[in-house]
């Protein structure tokens, strides 16, 4: 009798699990059907132009064949791994969102298994591996992401023979597949650096041994001129910033546990960054000179991808001058006074510019704010709010209040990062947002301010 009761209980539990799984799959399929028709449209409008991985023309060329289907799986995985106001899934309950992300990750894994069986796998194999690698890192599984990234790198190397001659021809024609391959090389290089530091605490292997300028995006027939310009300038600035950062890192000296970069490396970067901005097409600028934005109103109809590009630009200025701006550790005030004053001025303007761009994005399309960049501007502003210069102190405090308001809004709507969503691990909720709030409180309290 007891065995019969146990068996019936187990069978009942099994039926309930099966019914629950059926209901979940039904819900996933329903959401997938609503989501799928707009998938490509949303993907190519949500942050694509400053962080591309697929050229739109490559998808348009293949949307009705097997390559197009594989690209849709990749797009679904990438879109669900981040919060996007434009997405038809934005208002879904969090658990449903996570289930759908899991569904696309499973499809991506199956796609990889199938493509690996082919003698000559298409480019979508490397793209699927890259996508899954980035998604696992976003879900805090850096080691799995690192292993997938290493496999993606190997397949990208295998494809090099197919594209090498075309890449080396600076003035030659291009095509959507070649441009997608170049984007994937760049994406793999960036992601590999981040993952390697997480897993190995060291630099990543270089994915290519030739001049990266050979990878500069070229226009494809039918390209939107503005969007192509944004992609190209984003590439050029990213390359320049990495080279500048390397120059500054190699110039850093340590004295009494204080790290200081050589002023010559800073001034060279200042010149490079200014020249890049001055040389931008007029439609990508907010003001004629780099910091005109501080005293301007940002046009309401400004393309949000331009704002994202500018946010990246100003955050690099903050990083550069952060290497020499340290009001608590000025070892020789008389010798360093001019340097300190210029550093204060530059980091003040760059931080105000970052808050201004973030304020614009907050009103227009909040999901495009890189929250870590806004946080990056807060620490110098906390210093500057205590400045003896009344103008700097007043403007810094005003900017801080705006930054805090935006950060609170991002936390409230949980828009700032996919990893900040409540992620289930062994049945326990990891409240990333709560931990972040604690760290922000600690940061602000150091300067006797409340978050």
Select the more confidently predicted residue: 173 or 290.
290
Taking only the tens place, the pLDDT of each residue in 402-413 is 998 898 887 776
Whole-model pTM? 0.83
Higher pLDDT: 412 or 420? It is 412
Q: Which of 82-96, 211-225, 285-299, 350-364 has the lowest mean pLDDT?
A: 82-96
Q: Is the pLDDT of residue 25 over 60?
A: no
Judge whether 294 and 352 are in contact, CB under 8 Å: yes
Q: Which residues contact 386 (CB under 8 A, 6 or more apart)?
A: 393, 447
Q: How far apart are CA 7 and CA 2, in angstroms?
A: 9
Predicted confidence (pLDDT) at residue 323 exceeds the cutoff of 90: no
Gap between the Cα atoms of 281 and 273, Å rounded: 15
Task: Select the more confidently predicted residue: 330 or 315.
Answer: 315
Q: Say how far apart CA 306 and CA 277 lie, in whole Å.
A: 12
Q: Dump pLDDT digits (tens) for 72-108.
A: 999 988 888 766 666 766 677 777 778 888 889 999 9
Confidence (pLDDT) at 27: 53
Residue 114 predicted with pLDDT over 90: yes
362, 401 in Cβ contact below 8 A? Answer: no
- Contact (Cβ atoms closer than 8 angstroms) between residue 384 and residue 344: yes
Q: What percent of the chain has pLDDT over 70?
A: 76
Alpha-carbon span 42 to 238, nearest angstrom: 25
C-alpha angle 90/94/96, rounded to 5°?
90
Q: What is the pLDDT of residue 190?
A: 79
Residues 156/171, Cβ–Cβ less than 8 Å: no
Min mean pLDDT across 42-56, 105-119, 334-348 is at: 42-56
Residues constituting the chain: 451
Return the pLDDT at 260.
Answer: 72
pLDDT above 90 (res 392): yes
**Comparing 34-38, 226-230, 375-379, which segment has the lowest mean pLDDT?**
34-38
Instruction: Look at residue 291 and give its three-state secondary structure.
Output: coil
- pLDDT of 21 above 50: no
Residue ranges of alpha helices (H) inside 36-93 are 39-43, 56-62, 66-80
205 compared with 110, residue with greater pLDDT: 110
Could you report the per-residue pLDDT of 193-208, keeping only the tens digit for each? 777 777 766 655 665 5
CB 148 within 8 A of CB 136: yes
Q: Taking a C-beta distance cutoff of 8 angstroms, is the pair 36, 104 a contact? A: no
Question: pLDDT tens digit string along 235-284?
Answer: 999 999 988 988 888 887 776 666 677 888 999 999 999 999 999 999 99
The pLDDT value given to residue 365 = 81
Report how far residue 123's alpha carbon sits from residue 278's, in angstroms, rounded to the nearest whole number. 37
Q: What is the mean pLDDT of residues 403-428?
A: 61
């Amino acid at each position: 009798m007891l065995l019969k009761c146990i068996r019936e209980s187990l069978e009942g539990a099994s039926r309930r699990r099966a019914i629950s799984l059926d209901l979940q799959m039904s819900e996933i399929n329903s959401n997938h059907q609503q989501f799928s028709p707009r998938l490509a449209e949303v993907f190519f409008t949500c942050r694509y132009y400053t962080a591309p991985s697929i050229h739109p023309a490559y998808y348009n060329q293949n949307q009705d064949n097997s390559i197009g289907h594989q690209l849709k799986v990749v797009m679904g995985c990438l879109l669900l791994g981040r919060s996007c106001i434009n997405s038809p899934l934005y208002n879904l309950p969090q658990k449903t969102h996570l289930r759908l992300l899991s569904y696309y990750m499973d499809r991506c894994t199956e796609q990889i298994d199938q493509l690996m069986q082919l003698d000559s796998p298409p480019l979508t194999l490397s793209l699927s591996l890259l996508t899954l690698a980035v998604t696992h890192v976003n879900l805090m599984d850096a080691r799995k992401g690192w292993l997938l990234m290493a496999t993606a790198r190997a397949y990208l190397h295998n494809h090099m023979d197919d594209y090498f001659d075309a890449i080396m021809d600076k003035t030659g024609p291009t095509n959507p597949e070649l441009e997608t391959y170049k984007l994937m090389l760049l994406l793999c290089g960036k992601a590999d650096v981040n993952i390697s530091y997480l897993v190995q605490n060291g630099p990543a292997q270089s994915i290519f041994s030739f001049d990266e300028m050979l990878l500069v995006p070229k226009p494809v027939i039918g390209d939107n001129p503005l969007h192509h310009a944004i992609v190209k300038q984003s590439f050029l600035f990213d390359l320049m910033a990495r080279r500048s950062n390397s120059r500054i890192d190699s110039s850093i000296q340590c004295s009494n546990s204080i790290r200081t970069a050589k002023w010559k490396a800073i001034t060279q970067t200042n010149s490079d960054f200014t020249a890049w901005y001055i040389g931008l097409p007029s439609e990508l600028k907010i003001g004629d000179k780099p910091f005109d934005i501080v005293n301007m109103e940002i046009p309401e109809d400004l393309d949000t991808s331009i704002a994202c590009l500018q946010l990246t630009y100003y955050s690099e200025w903050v990083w550069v001058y952060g290497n020499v701006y340290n009001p608590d550790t000025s070892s020789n005030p008389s010798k360093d006074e001019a340097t300190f004053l210029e550093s204060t001025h530059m980091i003040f303007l760059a931080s105000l510019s970052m808050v201004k761009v973030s304020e614009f994005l907050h009103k227009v399309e909040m999901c495009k704010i890189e929250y870590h960049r806004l946080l990056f501007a807060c620490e110098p502003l906390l210093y500057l709010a205590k400045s003896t210069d009344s103008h700097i102190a007043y403007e810094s405090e005003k900017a801080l209040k705006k930054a805090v308001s935006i950060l609170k809004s991002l936390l409230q709507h949980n828009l700032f990062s996919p990893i900040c969503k409540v992620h289930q691990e062994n049945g326990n909720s990891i409240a990333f947002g709560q931990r972040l709030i604690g760290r922000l409180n600690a940061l602000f309290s150091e300067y006797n301010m409340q978050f």
